[in-house]
Amino acid sequence: DNGTVWKDTNGDEIHAQGGNIIQEGATFHWFGMQYPIWKAVNHYTSTDLKTWTKQAPALTPGMSGIPFGATNWVGRPFVMKNPNAGQTPYVMTIEWALGSATVRNRFCFLTATSLDGPWTFHASKTINNFRIINKLLNIIKPWFPIFVNLNSIQIYKITSR
């Protein structure tokens, strides 16, 4: 129901702001942020899109190999299948503000062999001339993220490097 707080199977409030859902087999995986200060990229699973079970967080501040910490703004995780598959069939992209939350123009790339992780940080890309990446509009095969910000659009091709 709209306007109600969703609860997981433990009766706890679901924290998954700005995230997305990806289906793998009969299971849906929901990744999203836990705020107000970023505490985790949470991971929930469901087979009916109504009953959600909380899994171990995908990312938390201070995780080994993750360059963003609790004092950085982090948001809008987007998990998808890697078209270059190989040994890392999943990719997570996430926004990252190095300093001020008002300049959120870095796009980070992490990979995992399973939707349950662990997630490995690979790189970040500064999206030039963007103060805030308002929305990752779409992913068009073979992986062209499209960024829209007020008066401009930027398109990048994601490659295997």
Name the amino acid, one letter, at 75: G
User: What average pLDDT values come out for the chain (161 residues) when binned by 10 residues?
Assistant: 86 91 93 87 96 96 87 85 74 77 72 93 71 44 46 52 47
Nearest in space to 48 (alpha carbons), one of 28, 30, 65? 28
Which pLDDT does position 134 carry in this prediction? 45
Q: Which two tokens stand for residue 96?
A: 């990252």
Cis peptide before 36 (omega within 30 of 0): yes
Instruction: Indicate the pTM of the whole model.
Output: 0.79
Residue 42, burial from CB neighbour count under 10 angstroms (0-12, 13-18, 19+):
buried
Q: Classify 29 as helix, strand or coil.
A: strand
Contact predicate 155/144, CB 8 Å: yes
Rounded distance between C-alpha atoms, residue 47 and residue 51, angstroms:
7
What are the tens digits of pLDDT across the range 29-67? 999 999 877 899 999 999 999 999 999 999 999 899 988
